[in-house]
Amino acid sequence: MVVLNKKAFKLPFMEREKFLLLMRLGLNYDKPSGTFCLKNFNNIEKLADTLAEILKVDEVTFTQTCAVCGKDFGCSDCKYLELCATKNLPFQCVCSECLREGKTFEDVG
């Protein structure tokens, strides 16, 4: 399993067709830095599967960003993992610390 940072990540060299497919599935490529980032989330599951194929791993997961404190974290330690309909996908979430401490959205700046 591989964890990718949705804001910028690198991929190994691939053929043009695969590259175009990734673009169609919602990625954006930044030439200067050579990194990909997520742009469109409509086909996120298919995208995750395709990336897993390219990276030759079982599963590709993305980091989550805490909506309250802003830090990045992964899904694997989340206690709601099995119940989550969007697990391992890069959507907004709340990290377990903020949740436990009852920090809500307004506590942020």
Partner 1 sequence: MREDLLWVEKYRPKKIADVIGNEEAKAAFIEWLKNTRRTKKALLLYGPPGVGKTTLVNAAANEFGFRVVEMNASDTRSEKAINRVAGPATAFAALDTFTTESKGNVLFMDEVDGIAGNEDRGGVSTILRIIEDSRIPVIMAANDPDLEKLRPLKKVSALVRFHQVRIPMIIALLQKVCQREHVKAEFEALERIAENSRGDVRSAINDLQSLAETTKTLTLQDTVVLSARNRDVGMDETLREYFSVKSLLGASKLLSYLSVDYDDLLMAVGDNLPLRYTDPEDLAAAYDFVSRADMFRGRIGVENWHLLRYFFNSLAQAAAVSPESYQPFTLISPPIRVITLFWTKGKRTILDAICGKIGRRCHVSRATAKTDFIPFLKILLANQKADEVVSWFEFQPEEVEFLAKMSRL
Is 94 one of the binding residues for partner 1 (CB under 8 A)? yes
Nearest to 60 by CA among 50, 71, 72: 50
Show the site string, 15-54: x = touches partner 1 by CB under 8 A, - = not: -----------------------x-xxx------------
Is 103 one of the binding residues for partner 1 (CB under 8 A)? yes
How far is Cα 106 from Cα 76, in angstroms, rounded to an integer?
27
Among 14, 80, 88, 109, binds partner 1 (CB under 8 A): 80
The structure tokens listed for 94 are 């709340």
**Site size toward partner 1, by CB under 8 A:** 27
How far is Cα 11 from Cα 54, in angstroms, rounded to an integer?
8
The CA-atom distances, in angstroms, between 45 and each of 10, 30, 52, 85 are: 19, 22, 11, 11
Nearest CB to partner 1, comparing residues 32 and 92: 92
Binding site for partner 1 (CB under 8 A): 38, 40-42, 67-68, 78, 80, 83-86, 89, 91-96, 98-100, 102-106
